[in-house]
Structure 1
């Protein structure tokens, strides 16, 4: 058995998405949708200087994911894929990341656009989006390359549960 790692939420994410089915599967599927992060008061000082960034990466828990499989059929495909070659929510460690557009910060509230997570999702961390720190060479998208269905799909179906 592996050693446990303790983490705790620093806030909660509020979105209009109440269930998995029909929720966007990535922020690009909700580009014009508004979301809000409520950072708990004891962590609010950590928001200092974040307002100068146009985009932020939210690290969160898929708290309604009840189990995982190492091979799944992802939302964007009809073939089985290794879970680590997907962004599916049912993972051994149910951690999600989404880069969203920051619109404003008011005290301990972050307003953003592009929520692809469910309402009430626990927030673990926030990181500023800095393209200069991303790979500068061409990025290959593996099985997604040339997958027209993947490029058209933007909403979740019920394959990972409906709640």
Structure 2
């Protein structure tokens, strides 16, 4: 099998340091904000990113230590295939959240939609929804 290697484009500074305190889904995070610190070599990629934009943030579940093909949905529900859940116990430990940009300053994005731990490595950002002019 081919090995694939990704390099983070930045890291999240989140108020959440343990999974028990963190919302399970980005829409449950309310008005809590976090910052994504983009590495200097990727700063130019922020051109055009502005408040109100919704971005798909792809990240690495850096604290997950194992994967499972089946998990209990929400830890107590029925056993479900991991591809039908948001569980971090995935074969490739890749997560996705939709974030809403609050502010862009230098190489930092302040955002809403926080459901990741402090120090989470971000792999990529993609425009989720076109803004209306």
TM-score normalised by length of structure 2: 0.92
Match of 1:38 in 2: 37
- The residue aligned with 1:11 is 10
In structure 2, C-alpha distance between the alignment counterparts of 1:52 and 1:33, rounded to whole Å = 16
| Partner in structure 1 of residue 23 of structure 2 | 24
Q: Distance in 2 between matches of 1:88 and 1:104?
A: 29
**After the TM superposition, which segments of 4 or more aligned residues of structure 1 sit over 2 Å from their partners?**
none
Return closer, same or farther for 1:131/1:105 CA change in 2, 3 Å cut-off: closer
Q: Following the alignment from structure 1 to structure 2, what is the Cα–Cα distance between the partners of residues 99 and 77?
A: 25
Hey, what's the Cα distance between the residues in 1 that align with 2:104 and 2:9? 16
- Name the structure 2 match of 1:75: 74
**CA displacement at 1:77 relative to structure 2:** 5.3
Where 1:38 maps in the other structure, the secondary structure is strand
Higher strand share: 2
Unpaired segments ≥5 residues, structure 2: none
| Bigger helix share | 1
TM-score by length of 1: 0.76
User: Unpaired runs of 5+ in structure 1?
Assistant: 133-163
Could you list the per-position Cα deviations for residues 78-109 of structure 1 after superposition, in whole angstroms to 9, with x for gaps in the alignment? 10000001110110000010001110100100
Distance in 1 of aligned mates of 2:130 and 2:39: 28
RMSD between aligned alpha carbons? Answer: 1.6
- Return the alpha-carbon distance in structure 1 between the equivalents of residues 4 and 27 of structure 2: 31
CA distance in 1 between counterparts of 2:86 and 2:76 reads 12
Residue 48 (structure 2) aligns with: 49
